[in-house]
């Protein structure tokens, strides 16, 4: 039997690249996301390599998450690795200018969605036991504040702390937990954040070398493939051309 990975947000970015990376190593894939046509295209692409099961899913809907997990075919059980990738940032403006709806969307997706999927899949991961992995996609924003991060950064700080606390509870079960925190990466992230502003996305990545989706997929696969006795608690990955800046000071 091949190992099985369950990836949320598999229709683009890190999730899509991870599906391809795990398939290249012979893992069976459970791919979820909101855009059925993209899931079907990815299934068509990879089904010649490995078994692929797809499920349209909005992780914010806890009932839908439970249903998808309950209906997983026997051939895709138990899950060995969960990649909690589904998430988003919105409204990169000062907090005082942001609609409450955008804050709620980030909380519901980045926090409640991650919790929904983790809770639903814990029994399967526990059945796998030794060598099972939960890889939560955090962000450097969960550690390092910056203007316009407001609820996004706070939600990724939750991902970090949830990962740490989950590790404590899972001690002795063999299930590993990692917070993988990327820096600037050139994906659809900024397009989503700016609600389709291609010029803003282009400007962010112009003239530098950001991380790619494949860079992060390689890290995800590496973590999941480590010997069973190794747990990486947190990985923070920046491109070489990104670093911290000085403190902001308000002056007269």
Please give the full DSSP string across 53-98, using - where no structure is assigned: EEEE--TT-HHHHHHHHHT--GGG-S-SEEEE--------S-GGGS
Give 17's DSSP letter: H
Sheet holding 81-84, edge to edge: 52-56, 28-33, 4-7, 81-84, 133-137, 176-182, 234-237
The pLDDT value given to residue 194? 84
The pLDDT value given to residue 197? 86
The pLDDT value given to residue 15? 97
Per-residue HEC secondary structure of 121-171 comes to HHHHHHHHCCCCEEEEECCHHHCCCCCCCHHHHHHHHHHHHHHHHHHHHHC
The pLDDT value given to residue 127? 97
Q: Which two tokens stand for residue 81?
A: 């690795």
Q: Which two tokens stand for residue 167?
A: 């590790």
Q: Which two tokens stand for residue 70?
A: 């309950």
The pLDDT value given to residue 10? 97
Q: 216 Cβ partners below 8 Å, 6+ apart? A: 14, 17, 18, 137, 180, 182, 185, 237
Q: What is the pTM of this model?
A: 0.96
Q: Which two tokens stand for residue 107?
A: 């909380």
Smallest CA-to-CA distance from 18 within 121, 125, 107, 133 is with: 133
Q: List the domain boundaries for the chain.
A: 4-237
The CATH code for residues 4-237 is: 3.40.50.720
CB 79 within 8 A of CB 4: yes
Helices (H) and strands (E) in the chain, counts: 9, 7
CB 171 within 8 A of CB 160: no
Specify the residue for token string 């692409």. 45
Catalytic site positions: 152
CB 27 within 8 A of CB 131: no
Over the range 148-173, which residues count as b (16 or more CB within 10 Å of their CB) and which as e?
Answer: bbbbbbbbbbbbbebbeebbeebeee
Give pLDDT tens digits along the chain (252 positions): 689 999 999 999 999 999 999 999 999 999 999 999 999 999 999 999 999 999 999 999 999 999 999 999 999 999 999 999 999 999 999 999 999 999 999 999 999 999 999 999 999 999 999 999 999 999 999 999 999 999 999 999 999 999 999 999 999 999 999 999 999 999 888 888 888 889 888 888 999 999 999 999 999 999 999 999 999 999 999 999 999 998 999 999
The pLDDT value given to residue 159? 98
């Amino acid at each position: 039997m091949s190992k099985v990975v369950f990836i949320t947000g598999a229709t683009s970015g890190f999730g899509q690249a991870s599906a391809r990376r795990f398939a290249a190593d012979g893992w069976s894939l459970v791919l979820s996301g909101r855009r059925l046509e993209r899931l079907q295209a990815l299934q068509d692409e990879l089904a010649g390599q490995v078994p692929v099961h797809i499920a349209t899913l909005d992780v914010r809907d806890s009932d839908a998450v439970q249903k998808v997990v309950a209906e997983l075919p026997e051939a895709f059980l138990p899950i060995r690795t969960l990649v909690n990738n589904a998430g988003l940032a919105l409204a990169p403006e000062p907090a005082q200018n942001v609609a409450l709806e955008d804050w709620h969307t980030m909380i519901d997706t980045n926090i409640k969605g991650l919790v929904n999927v983790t809770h639903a899949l814990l029994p399967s991961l526990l059945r796998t036991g030794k060598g099972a992995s939960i890889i939560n996609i955090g962000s450097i924003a969960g550690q390092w504040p910056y203007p316009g991060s407001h609820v996004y950064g706070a939600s990724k700080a939750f991902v970090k702390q949830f990962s740490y606390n989950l590790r404590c509870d899972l001690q002795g079960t063999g299930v590993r937990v990692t917070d993988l925190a990327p820096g600037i990466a050139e994906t659809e992230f900024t397009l989503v954040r700016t609600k389709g502003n291609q010029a803003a996305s282009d400007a962010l990545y112009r003239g530098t070398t950001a991380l790619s989706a494949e860079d992060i997929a390689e890290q995800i696969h590496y973590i999941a493939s480590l010997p069973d006795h190794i747990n990486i608690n947190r990985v923070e990955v920046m491109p070489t051309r990104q670093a911290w800046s000085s403190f902001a000071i308000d002056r007269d």
